[in-house]
Amino acid sequence: MEISVFLEHDEKDTQNVKQAKALYKALREKDRETIAKLLVDDPVWDVSPGFPDGGVYSGMAEVFGSFYSKLRNRFRSFSAIPEIFIDGGDVVTVLGFYKFEKNEEDSFRLVRFAHTWGINIDGRIKGVWQVADSAQFITSGEAET
């Protein structure tokens, strides 16, 4: 399924799941204004070791100026395809796939991920704890030690 099906099918979603879906959509569309409204002022991205540029990124400048800019430079195309949203109260866990293409000669690959988004009492997203099938990046030559 395409990403838009999962992000727009929301009649039974909780408010927290709607927030997570809105963030995926805003990230895909690079809608900075909506991203800023959905996130706390100093979000934290905890990206699993083995994932390209894995580490902990704190604040908008590190998350978007460092992590995402490095990630975009590594791939010809890269996107997240969320499939399952699980509301745990103050967290929303999302299971899905990264879809990426290293270069023009490379075919698209899919890599499983789990994102757990922290949600504060005001409904803003505090950040993400991310894990992915990092071995897929190693076999495609994308992971660094």
Confidence bin at 134 (pLDDT 50/70/90): confident
Q: Write out the residue range of the structural domain in which residue 21 sits.
A: 3-139
- How far apart CA 51 and CA 132 sit, in angstroms, is 7
Q: Tell me, what's the pLDDT at 9?
A: 57
- Residue 4 reports pLDDT greater than 70: no
Residue 95 inside a domain? The answer is: yes
Residue 93 inside a domain? The answer is: yes
- When computed from its CA atoms, the radius of gyration of the chain, rounded to whole angstroms, is 15
Mean pLDDT of the chain: 87
Residue 145 inside a domain? The answer is: no
Q: Is the separation of the CB atoms in 101 and 115 below 8 Å?
A: no
Confidence bin at 138 (pLDDT 50/70/90): low
Residue 56 inside a domain? The answer is: yes
Residue 58 inside a domain? The answer is: yes
22 φ, ψ to 5°?
Answer: -65, -35
Residue 73 gets which letter from DSSP? H
- Residue 3 reports pLDDT greater than 90: no
Residue 77 inside a domain? The answer is: yes
Residue 69 inside a domain? The answer is: yes
- The neighbour count for residue 113, using CB atoms within 10 Å, is 20
- How far apart CA 98 and CA 79 sit, in angstroms, is 6
pLDDT in tens, 36-53: 999 999 999 999 988 889
Residue 144 inside a domain? The answer is: no
For 39-45, the CB contacts below 8 A with 24+ separation are 39/124, 39/125, 39/126, 39/127, 40/120, 40/124, 40/125, 40/126, 40/127, 43/125, 43/126, 43/127, 43/128, 44/126, 44/127, 44/128, 45/127, 45/128, 45/130
- How far apart CA 28 and CA 36 sit, in angstroms, is 14
Confidence bin at 108 (pLDDT 50/70/90): confident
Between residues 48 and 138, the one the model is more confident about: 48
Between residues 36 and 11, the one the model is more confident about: 36
pTM confidence score: 0.85
- Least-confidence region, from 21-35, 57-71, 106-120, 124-138: 124-138
CATH number for position 29: 3.10.450.50
Quote the number of domains for the chain: 1
